[in-house]
Chains A and B, each alone.
Chain A
Amino acid sequence: MATTVYKTSPYNRISRQLADYAASGLSILSTVLVVAPLVAIFLYLVYKGAGSLNLAFFTQVPKPVGESGGGMANAIFGSAVLLLIGSVVGVPIGIAGGIFLAEFGRGSRLANAVRFTADVLNGVPSIVMGISVYSLIVLPQKHFSALSGGVALGIMMIPTITRTTEEMLLMVPNSIREAALGLGVPNWRSVLAISLRTASPGVITGCMLAFARVAGETAPLLFTAFGNQFWSADLNQPIAALPLQIFVYAISPYDEWHRLAWAGALVLIVLIVVSVALVRYVTSRGVLKGAS
């Protein structure tokens, strides 16, 4: 058999170098294309909205038409309340659903039905979610409320959380489950303390995705939380929310309100980024050296 001699001719070297540059260039270009819209939106919001941000924006409620000034304190607070209710509803149900799909119902007919339902629910337009909650909670109660708005957001969070939790649990190696069962740990306990804990970084990411998605939702709040020009902390009363307030101000004919809408959009996006970063920071502390 002839021995193959590997030679690097100058021509080969140059063509490989070119291919390398081309591949690197393409991946850098793609990265820029992915990041560019976010950066562009953010910069535009800063350009349009930063000028209207002042202390009053965070401390005052909206002023009547014609009076200048005023802020969105009630909307910021209202969004926080709605998202809190949404998380309280959506996170436990979503995670429990994911646990069922990955650990207890694997391959069963019920699990397939649940998975299918979750995927369909994920594709349901948010306005439809609003109408559903309107007829389920608002109509029987006979008034709009923060509670119904929060529930609408919570239901919207469930499918994303369920499916990511399932995916993350399926990535936990079976050997880890066997280790726990082999120690005489009951199955339910192994699922919670071992599988879920091992999958927790991914599960938290799923929760944050769902949170960030519903934080900007307007449609499901239109006829549930309804919006409120005044300060309200009553869960049984209509409550303001940033996306609603932005919507109302943006379609109004007043320049002053347009500027406030831009500022509101800027605040909304910053709040989402900050809360996601905060959760990531808090949950990443206490991770040990060498843990994957």
Chain B
Amino acid sequence: MGAGIQVTELNAWYGANHTLHDVNLNMPANNATALIGPSGCGKSTFVRCLNRMHETNPVARVTGKVMIDDMDIYNDVSAVEVRRRVGMVFQRPNPFPTMSIYDNVVSGLRLNGFRNRRVMDEVVERSLKDAALFDEVKDDLKKKSGASLSGGQQQRLCIARALAVDPEVLLMDEPASALDPVSTAKIEDLIFQLKTQYTIVIVTHNMQQAARVAENTGFFLNGKMIEFDATHKIFTNPSDKRTEDYITGRFG
């Protein structure tokens, strides 16, 4: 089951650079939420605050409150615990190059000390099926390196790897921006499937993609969240002039 996300007064900095200003946002469970906006507007910083990856940068700082269901991720639990419950898929596919496809999928379990082979076999099959990759790789699971797959397959492998630890929320930071149209379509189909089980937050530069996959969309500009509403409302009848300018291509 997915979990709802409630963000209150979130501010983030990189050194002296104030990159997020007072973001308030409520993302319902088992929905896909798209975040759009021009480059450098703070969308990536925002999702990295949702699983505390932001703080892996030594000069980064964050204030505010993020609740995932009833867990306050900055006060109740450790960063490691948060990241186990909030999976992340990055912009560029980043499978572990020294590991086989199988080992990549179970890496999250193994690196946290899990050893049961039978269960891992099941997890690999289920995760790869959920990521729509199983049929393409089922004969080479332990023979081929994750890095030997095509870019689109690698990204689906990374999704399978994130799903294998059974998160409640899946963050996707421009997951299709490095992929060709066919692979992009596969990832979008996948998001449709996945949101029945997980809450999905997807950052995207592609507005059609946001319109296709997300129930709600947020528009970011210069580190502020300008508008957040149902996707069809944002794209057909935005209430803010700046949102309208952006989606009609007048800037950004």
- Asked whether A and B interact, the reply is yes
Q: Which residues of A contact B (CB under 8 A)?
A: 173, 175-176, 178-186, 189-190, 193-194, 197-198, 200, 287-292
Interface presence of B176 (CB below 8 A): no
Interface presence of B145 (CB below 8 A): yes
Residues of B within 8 A of A175 (CB): 90, 92, 94
Interface presence of B35 (CB below 8 A): no
- Contact between A292 and B147 (Cβ–Cβ < 8 Å)? yes
CB distance from B165 to the nearest CB of A (A): 6
Residues of A within 8 A of B149 (CB): 290
Extra contacts, 18 of them, besides A182-B83, A183-B165, A184-B81 (Cβ < 8 A), are A175-B90, A176-B94, A179-B94, A181-B83, A182-B53, A184-B83, A184-B84, A184-B112, A185-B80, A198-B96, A288-B98, A288-B148, A289-B140, A289-B144, A290-B147, A291-B98, A291-B145, A292-B147
CA distance A200 to B165 in the complex (A): 26
Q: B104-159: which residues lie under 8 A (CB-CB) from chain A?
A: 107-108, 111-112, 140, 143-145, 147-149, 158
- Contact between A178 and B98 (Cβ–Cβ < 8 Å)? no
Across the A-B interface, the 5 shortest Cβ-Cβ residue pairs: A290-B148, A184-B84, A183-B108, A291-B145, A184-B83
- Contact between A180 and B88 (Cβ–Cβ < 8 Å)? no
Q: List 20 A-B contacts (CB under 8 A).
A: A178-B90, A179-B94, A182-B53, A183-B161, A184-B112, A185-B108, A185-B112, A193-B111, A194-B111, A198-B97, A288-B98, A288-B144, A288-B148, A289-B148, A290-B144, A290-B145, A290-B149, A291-B147, A292-B97, A292-B147
- Contact between A179 and B80 (Cβ–Cβ < 8 Å)? no
CB-nearest residue of chain A to B167: A184
Residues of A within 8 A of B108 (CB): 183-185
CA distance A148 to B147 in the complex (A): 46
Interface presence of B56 (CB below 8 A): yes
Q: Write the B48-74 contact mask toward A (1 if CB under 8 angstroms, else 0).
A: 000101001000000000000000000
Interface presence of B197 (CB below 8 A): no
CB distance from B91 to the nearest CB of A (A): 9
User: How many B residues touch A, CB cutoff 8 Å?
Assistant: 35
CB distance from B49 to the nearest CB of A (A): 13
Within 8 Å by CB of B97, from A178, A185, A190, A291, lies A291
Q: Write the B27-59 contact mask toward A (1 if CB under 8 angstroms, else 0).
A: 000000000000000000000000101001000
Interface presence of B175 (CB below 8 A): no
Residues of B within 8 A of A178 (CB): 53, 56, 90, 94
Interface presence of B187 (CB below 8 A): no
Residues of A within 8 A of B95 (CB): 179
Within 8 Å by CB of A179, from B51, B90, B100, B140, lies B90
CB distance from A174 to the nearest CB of B (A): 9
- Contact between B81 and A181 (Cβ–Cβ < 8 Å)? no
CA distance A193 to B104 in the complex (A): 12
Interface presence of B162 (CB below 8 A): yes
Residues of B within 8 A of A176 (CB): 94, 96-97
- Contact between B94 and A173 (Cβ–Cβ < 8 Å)? yes
CA distance A180 to B158 in the complex (A): 11
- Contact between B112 and A180 (Cβ–Cβ < 8 Å)? no
Question: Beyond A184-B83, A290-B147, is A190–B111 a contact (Cβ under 8 Å)?
Answer: yes
CA distance A87 to B158 in the complex (A): 38
Interface presence of B87 (CB below 8 A): yes
Residues of B within 8 A of A288 (CB): 98-100, 143-145, 148
CB-nearest residue of chain A to B144: A289
CB distance from B34 to the nearest CB of A (A): 20
- Contact between B143 and A180 (Cβ–Cβ < 8 Å)? no
CB distance from A101 to the nearest CB of B (A): 16
- Contact between A181 and B56 (Cβ–Cβ < 8 Å)? yes
CB distance from A93 to the nearest CB of B (A): 24
Within 8 Å by CB of B111, from A173, A180, A291, lies A180
CA distance A180 to B56 in the complex (A): 12
CA distance A287 to B90 in the complex (A): 26
Question: Beyond A175-B90, A290-B147, A291-B147, is A194–B96 a contact (Cβ under 8 Å)?
Answer: yes
CA distance A182 to B140 in the complex (A): 26
CA distance A185 to B85 in the complex (A): 12
- Contact between B51 and A182 (Cβ–Cβ < 8 Å)? yes
- Contact between B148 and A186 (Cβ–Cβ < 8 Å)? no
- Contact between A183 and B94 (Cβ–Cβ < 8 Å)? no
Question: Beyond A182-B162, A289-B148, is A189–B111 a contact (Cβ under 8 Å)?
Answer: yes
